[in-house]
Chain A
C-alpha cells in the first residue's frame, strides 16, 4: 500500500446538488426586485391613503413618468454624472492603492501621512466643494476631485490593513525559496490584499455618486443632473425631484454592482475551494490534485 490516501467520498447530503438556474435567478434577482416592488407599493399606499398633494410627494408612477417623458433631456445629464463618477472613482482608487502600498512599505511615511488622511475625511465635503470650485473652476475637474476625495480613503485604509495582515509564514517560505521581493509582493501580498481592497472599493463605489452630485451642486457651467433636480425643486416639480433621485440611486447601485462583478472575476478563490486548473485534459475542477 502506497502512502497515497484517497479522500473519502462525500456523504450524500454533503454533495452539492446543482441548483436550477430558475431558482438561482429567483433567489438572486427575484427577491431584491420583490423588495423594491414592496417599497414602491408602500410609497404609493402612503401617498394615496394620506391624500398627499403632488407638490409635496408624487406617486411612484408620476416620478417614473417625470424621467421617461424627459429622457432626451436627462440622458446627457446622466452620462455627465456617470463620467464624473467613473473618472473620480478610478482616480480615487488608484491614489488609494498607491498610498496604501507606499505607506505599508515605508512605516515612517505611514506615521507621517496617516493622520493627514484621517483629517482629510473629517473635513465636510460640502465645505470643501466651494473652495475647490474657486481653485479648479466650473469644469468636470472639481467634481472628479470630490469623488476621488471620497473614494481614496476607504481604499487606502483597506489596502494598508490587507498588507499588514499578510501571512508571514508564506512570506518567510517565499524567502526560503529565494523569491525576490517583487515576486513575493506580486504573488503573495497582492492576492492577500484583494479582499480588503474590494471592500474599500465597494464602500467608495457607494459614495462616489454622492460626491459627483455634491460637486455638481457646488457649480456647473451648463447643466447637470443635480442642477436639473435643484431647478425642479425650486419650481415645485416634485415628481422630477423624486424621479432624478431614483436615477441617481440607479447610477450608484449600478456602479456598486460593477465593482462586485469585478471582485467576483478577480477573486475566484472566494467562491471555489479548489483553484481552477487550466491544463488540457482537466476533467473536473472539483477533483483533488494528485
Chain B
C-alpha cells in the first residue's frame, strides 16, 4: 500500500515535471521566432539605428521576434545572404534590388527605408558647384566613385544634365577608398556620396568652412528611395506574419528614433561601441537621415510603382539591366503595418 502510494506520487510528480517542461518549451518556441537581419555594409553604422532601437526598447520582443544582425563580407553580398537563407530580412539599396532581380535572384522589397534620394556631389569649401555652372565644374575634372551601383546609376544623369560625355570627365573608382579623404587631399575635384554619410565625416575631419554640396536630384538624378527592406519571395510567401511583425516593430522604432535622435544615437553607440564611429558622428548622421525617412504625406515605408518604374528605366538606360519588368516584380506593400 505504502509502495503504491509512493509510486503514484512519483508518477504524478514526474508527469507534472514533464508537463511543465513541455509547456515551457512550447511557450518559448511559440512565443519567439528567431530571424537574422542582414545589413548592406560589412560593419554597423547609424542607418542601423531603427533595428537597434527596436531591440533595445523591446519592440521586437513584443511582436515575438528575436532579431540577430549579421554583416555581409562586402557591400554586394546581402542578396546572396537572403537567397541562401543565411538571413531572412535584408537591407539593400534599390539599385542592388534592380540588378538582383535582373540576375534572377528571387528577392522582393517589402518596405522603403528612406523615401527620397539624398545622393549628392561634393566639393571643397569655397568651390563653385551649382546647377548653373555644372558643366564648367565637372568638365575635365576628377570625380570620385566607390564603384557601387547607386553611383554608377546616378552619375550618367548628372553628366547628361551637364551635357558632358563620360570621356570628358575622369572618374576615379576606389571601392576600398574614402571619398572625403581623397577630396580634402586634393586627389579628386568632386566626390560623390549620400549627404547623411558625407556631412558628418566632413565635420569630424576638422576642416574649416562648409563642404559644398549639390544634391543629385537638382541636376537630373531621379528622386527615388535609396534603401529598402527586402526578403526572398519564398520567405514572404511562407512567413508573411513574421515579415509583418518585423516591419511593425521597425516602424515603431523608426518613429521613436526620429522623435528622439539623441537617445537613438546613444542607443546605437551603446550597442556598437567598437563600430569605429563617434557618438557625435552617429548622431549627426542619424539627424541627417531623418528628413529622408518619410514621403510628402509624412508616411514611412510606403513604396510606389512609380519609384520602381523610374529606377528600372534608369538602370536600363545605362545597361545595368536588360529589360524593364513591371514594378510589382520588385515590391509589395502588403506587409506594411
Q: Say yes or no: A133 contacts B177, CB within 8 Å.
A: yes
Considering residues A56, A129, A219, which has the most beta carbons from chain B within 10 angstroms of its beta carbon? A219
Q: Closest B residue to A226 by CB, please name it.
A: B175
Bound CA–CA A98/B170 (angstroms): 38
B80 close to A (CB within 8 Å): yes
Contact A130 to B170, CB < 8 A, known contacts A137-B187, A234-B99, A237-B103: no
Which residues of A207-249 are within 8 A (CB) of B?
217-223, 227, 230-231, 233-238
Chain A residues in 8 Å Cβ range of B142: 138, 221
A78 CB → nearest B CB, Å: 18
Does A219 lie within 8 Å of B177, measured CB to CB? yes
Q: How large is the interface on A (under 10, 10 to 19, 20 to 34, 35 or more residues)?
A: 20 to 34
Q: Which residues of B contact A126 (CB under 8 A)?
A: 176
Q: How far is the CB of B70 from chain A (nearest CB, A)?
A: 17
Which parts of A256-290 form the interface with B (CB within 8 Å)? none
Q: B75 to chain A: which residues have CB within 8 Å?
A: 234
Whether the pair A235, B173 counts as a contact (CB closer than 8 A) is no
Contact B76 A233 (CB under 8 A): yes
For the complex, what is the distance from the CA of A137 to the CA of B174, rounded to whole Å?
12
A235 contacts B99, C-beta separation under 8 Å = yes
> Quick check: B103 and A54 within 8 Å, CB to CB?
yes
A231 touches B103 (CB 8 A): no
How many chain B residues touch A (CB < 8 A): the figure is 33
Residues of A contacting B148 with CB < 8 Å? Answer: 234
Chain B CB count within 10 A is highest, among A130, A219, A222, A234, for: A234
Give chain A residues whose Cβ lies under 8 Å from the Cβ of B83: 53, 55-56
Q: Does A134 contact B (CB under 8 A)?
A: yes
Q: Which of B66-125 contact A (CB under 8 A)?
A: 74-76, 79-80, 83-84, 96, 99-100, 102-105
Contact A53 B147 (CB under 8 A): no
Q: Is the CB–CB distance between B176 and A129 below 8 Å?
A: yes
Q: Give the docked Cα–Cα distance between A53 and B148 (Å).
A: 23
Task: Flag if A53 contacts B74 (CB, 8 Å).
Answer: no
Residue of A nearest to B148 (CB): A234
* Residue among A231, A237, A238 with most chain B CB within 10 A: A231
Q: B76 contacts which chain A residues (CB < 8 A)?
A: 233-234, 236
B271 at the interface (CB under 8 A from A): no
Interchain CB contact under 8 A, B173 and A227: yes
A56 to chain B, nearest CB (A): 6
Q: Which residues of B contact A217 (CB under 8 A)?
A: 174-176
- Give A230 to B79 CA distance when docked, in angstroms: 16
B182 within 8 A of A: yes
Please judge, given known A-B contacts A129-B176, A138-B172, whether A55 and B105 are in contact too, CB under 8 Å. yes
Task: Render A120-142 as a binary contact track against B, CB cut-off 8 A, 1 for contact.
Answer: 00000010011001100110000
B289 to chain A, nearest CB (A): 23
Cβ contacts A to B, 11 pairs, < 8 Å: A55-B83, A56-B80, A138-B187, A217-B175, A221-B142, A227-B147, A233-B76, A234-B148, A234-B152, A236-B76, A236-B100
Known A217-B176, A221-B170; 13 more pairs at CB < 8 Å: A54-B104, A55-B79, A130-B176, A138-B187, A220-B174, A221-B142, A227-B175, A234-B76, A234-B99, A234-B148, A235-B103, A236-B100, A236-B103
